[in-house]
């Protein structure tokens, strides 16, 4: 069984509640428990069918067990007066609408155990739902007037066709596209297949960058990384979790019998005319496999611009001036998931010119850009000599007469050395490095063993970046800054700051979308001369002073403009208040 996680949590098993209430004698309660176990039905379902209690008494007890009010009113909103999609969902899930005010819904159900499953449906539709308990006979009487419901396969989203028909395999080898739901395996059942499909669809539609499927002692939990933050989405019991993991591994062509070694794979799908690649990393844990799926969107219809990424005017001017140079290196620093590759894609798209040849080598290719030759790094673990690494690919790229080269990441001295040689022979080289700040990037490259004096001669610009969540414009709340906040702003005249609240538009998170913050360090002749004379360590204080602004200062500007809040600033940059 799988259940979607919502904000509320059930306090104790319902069997325990009825035992504490002494509603049944021990013999009757034991018989009901045994019947639920033997028939593999929820205890609540058996209670409704077999308890023999008066209907209203039973459902009032269920309401108390789930800490919900019992519906006392006889008035409901007719299905004919509801928006079509909302009416369809309510009819399918056997729910009565008690009231609808703006986007706030009050619903009545006779199945309170399913509230966790159905709450995200209304969040997806843009409604904030609260629940009461009513009797099954009342629901059956009023549901007869409801419109015909959608296909039972479409039980996760309203208005979205089953992923079986919208999510199709697009494997590399040419063949007729087959539906993911049609890939049959001995360990899989249609319900698990459908669960996997709709989990992937939920991730795509909610804008997740990663899907985390983690084995636990009692099954598995599924979490999405949305705007850089992990959010709980599903919990699976042990049997469903096993099928869920097996399904993902077979879709990715991994060995489901491997219990010791980590594995990597990928698969591509098209979802509602949008191609999405899922790259999978699987690591065995003490309770079972732990899988992370990275969503790569591929070709995008919206062109990237450095302005929309979040660069300020003076930062854009530096980028434009540096990229006018026909040669040299530009490095972007930051941890995994900080938007480094996206920024470089924005730079490439801003440089688009049919008179120039662009070549990239990446791992993976996250965004396809028209007019750019993009190469995917490929590692052959069976025959390492046949692997296409950054260094090996870069050597060949230099013989393809490029003007601008993008190297996905400088991971070792060999790749760094070839990149520097390319930048000194008439090429503009863009790349990324894992480092915490622009100044620390120089130390990082020195530590991996590059010729540092050669590096300083060809390096034009280093900047680090992070991503901050933007406040939801629909629900953010303003207030006057306190004294500590005014002290942080310094000379900036800020009369109002905002904080996150949460609404259906932002999935109750308070944030929607992200913006970048940047720390620019332009490598000037003055810096080169000082490093050549005194070395990097002795020159570091001077180098830090030459930064345009720090990441903290950049974040503070975004807070002052109402784009984000102090809570997000501290999450990204560290404590400040």
pLDDT tens by residue, 232-248: 888 888 888 888 999 99
Find how far residue 398's CA is from the centre of its chain.
36
- Partners of 187 in the beta sheet? none
Residue of 66 and 570 predicted with greater confidence: 570
Most confident of 152-166, 299-313, 523-537: 523-537
The SS3 of residue 39 is: helix
pLDDT of residue 316: 93
Strands (DSSP E) along 229-383, which ranges?
Answer: 229-237, 263-271, 274-284, 289-296, 328-333, 358-362, 372-376
Q: What percent of the chain has pLDDT over 70?
A: 86
Planar angle of CA 185, 187, 191, nearest 5 degrees: 85
Q: Round to whole Å and give the CA distance between 267 and 265.
A: 7
Domains and CATH numbers, the chain: 2-143 (no CATH), 163-296 (3.30.450.90), 306-573 (3.40.50.300)
pLDDT in tens, 144-190: 666 554 443 334 443 333 333 333 333 333 333 333 433 233 333 44
Q: How confident is the model at residue 535 (pLDDT cuts 50, 70, 90)?
A: confident
User: Which ranges constitute the DSSP H helices of 511-561?
Assistant: 525-534, 536-545, 551-560
pLDDT of residue 146: 62
Q: Are 567 and 499 in contact (CB under 8 A)?
A: yes
Sequence-distant (6+) residues with CB within 8 A of 194 are 153, 162, 163, 164, 181
pLDDT of residue 187: 38
Q: How confident is the model at residue 272 (pLDDT cuts 50, 70, 90)?
A: low
Q: How confident is the model at residue 305 (pLDDT cuts 50, 70, 90)?
A: confident
Residue of 31 and 96 predicted with greater confidence: 96
- To the nearest whole number, what is the mean pLDDT of the chain? 82
Q: Are 363 and 390 in contact (CB under 8 A)?
A: yes
Helix axes 14-21, 43-50, angle to 10 degrees: 50
Q: How confident is the model at residue 85 (pLDDT cuts 50, 70, 90)?
A: confident
Sequence-distant (6+) residues with CB within 8 A of 42 are 36, 113
pLDDT of residue 148: 55
Q: Which of 153, 116, 292 is nearest to 220 (CA)?
A: 292
Q: What is the dihedral of CA 31, 37, 38, 43, to 10 degrees?
A: 70
The tokens 């570091």 sit on which residue?
540
Q: What is the mean pLDDT of residues 394-401?
A: 92
Cα dist from 84 to 32, 93, 94, 99, whole Å:
40, 14, 15, 16
pLDDT surpasses 70 at 83:
yes
pLDDT of residue 21: 72
The backbone torsions φ and ψ at residue 45, rounded to the nearest 5 degrees and listed phi first, read: -65, -45
Beta-sheet strand order (sheet of 459-471): 372-376, 358-362, 404-407, 428-433, 328-333, 459-471, 511-522
Residue of 276 and 457 predicted with greater confidence: 457
Q: Round to whole Å and give the CA distance between 396 and 498.
A: 51
pLDDT surpasses 60 at 252:
yes
Q: What is the mean pLDDT of residues 303-323?
A: 89
Q: What is the mean pLDDT of residues 554-562?
A: 94
The tokens 């930048």 sit on which residue?
423
Q: Number of helices (H) and strands (E) in the chain: give both, helices first.
A: 22, 20
């Amino acid at each position: 069984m799988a259940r979607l996680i919502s904000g509320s949590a059930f306090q104790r098993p319902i069997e325990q509640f009825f035992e504490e209430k002494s509603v049944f004698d021990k013999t009757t309660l034991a018989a009901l428990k045994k019947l639920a176990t033997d028939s593999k039905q929820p205890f609540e379902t058996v209670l409704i069918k077999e308890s023999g209690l008066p209907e209203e008494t039973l459902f009032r007890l269920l309401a108390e067990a789930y800490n919900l009010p019992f519906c006392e009113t006889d008035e409901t909103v007719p299905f004919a007066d509801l928006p079509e999609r909302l009416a369809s969902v309510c009819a399918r899930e056997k729910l009565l609408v008690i009231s609808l005010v703006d986007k706030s819904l009050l619903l009545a159900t006779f199945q309170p155990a399913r509230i966790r499953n159905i709450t995200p449906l209304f969040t997806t539709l843009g409604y904030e739902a609260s629940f009461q308990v009513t009797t099954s006979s009342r629901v059956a009487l009023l549901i007869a007037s409801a419109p015909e419901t959608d296909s039972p396969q479409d039980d996760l989203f309203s208005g979205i066709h089953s992923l079986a028909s919208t999510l199709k395999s697009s494997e590399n080898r040419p063949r007729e596209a087959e539906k993911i739901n049609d890939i049959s395996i001995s360990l899989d059942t249609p319900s698990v297949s459908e669960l996997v499909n709709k989990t992937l669809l939920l991730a795509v539609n909610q804008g997740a960058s990663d899907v985390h499927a983690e084995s636990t002692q009692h099954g598995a939990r599924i979490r999405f990384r949305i705007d850089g933050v992990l959010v709980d989405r599903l919990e699976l019991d042990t049997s469903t979790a096993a099928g869920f993991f097996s399904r993902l591994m077979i879709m990715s062509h991994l060995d489901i019998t491997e219990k010791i070694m980590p594995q990597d794979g990928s698969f591509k799908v098209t979802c509602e005319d949008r191609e999405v690649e899922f790259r999978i990393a699987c690591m065995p844990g003490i309770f079972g496999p732990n899988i992370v799926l990275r969503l790569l969107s591929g070709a995008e219809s919206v062109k990237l611009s450095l302005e929309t990424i979040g660069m300020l005017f003076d930062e854009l001017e530096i980028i434009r001036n540096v990229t006018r140079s026909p040669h040299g290196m530009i490095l972007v620093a930051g941890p995994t998931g900080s938007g480094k590759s996206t920024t470089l894609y924005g730079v490439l798209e801003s440089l688009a010119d049919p008179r120039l040849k662009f070549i990239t080598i990446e791992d993976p290719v996250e965004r396809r850009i028209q007019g750019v030759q993009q190469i995917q790094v490929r590692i052959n673990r069976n025959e390492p000599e046949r692997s296409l690494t950054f260094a090996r690919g870069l050597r060949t790229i230099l013989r393809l007469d490029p003007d601008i080269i993008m190297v996905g990441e400088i991971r070792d001295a060999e790749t760094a050395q070839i990149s520097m040689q390319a930048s000194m022979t008439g090429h503009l080289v863009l790349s990324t490095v894992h480092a915490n700040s622009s100044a620390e990037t120089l130390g990082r490259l020195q530590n991996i063993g590059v010729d540092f004096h050669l590096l300083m001669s060809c390096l034009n610009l280093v900047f680090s970046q992070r991503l901050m969540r933007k406040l939801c414009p629909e629900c953010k709340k303003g207030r006057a800054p306190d004294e500590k906040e005014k002290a942080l702003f310094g000379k900036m005249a800020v009369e109002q700051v905002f904080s996150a609240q949460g609404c259906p538009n932002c999935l109750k998170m308070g944030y929607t979308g992200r913006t970048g913050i940047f720390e620019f360090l332009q490598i000037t002749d003055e810096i080169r001369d000082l490093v050549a004379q005194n070395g990097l360590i002795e020159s570091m204080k001077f180098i830090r002073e030459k930064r345009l602004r720090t990441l903290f200062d950049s974040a503070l500007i975004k807070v002052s403009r109402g784009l984000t809040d102090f809570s997000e600033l501290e999450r990204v940059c560290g404590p400040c208040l």
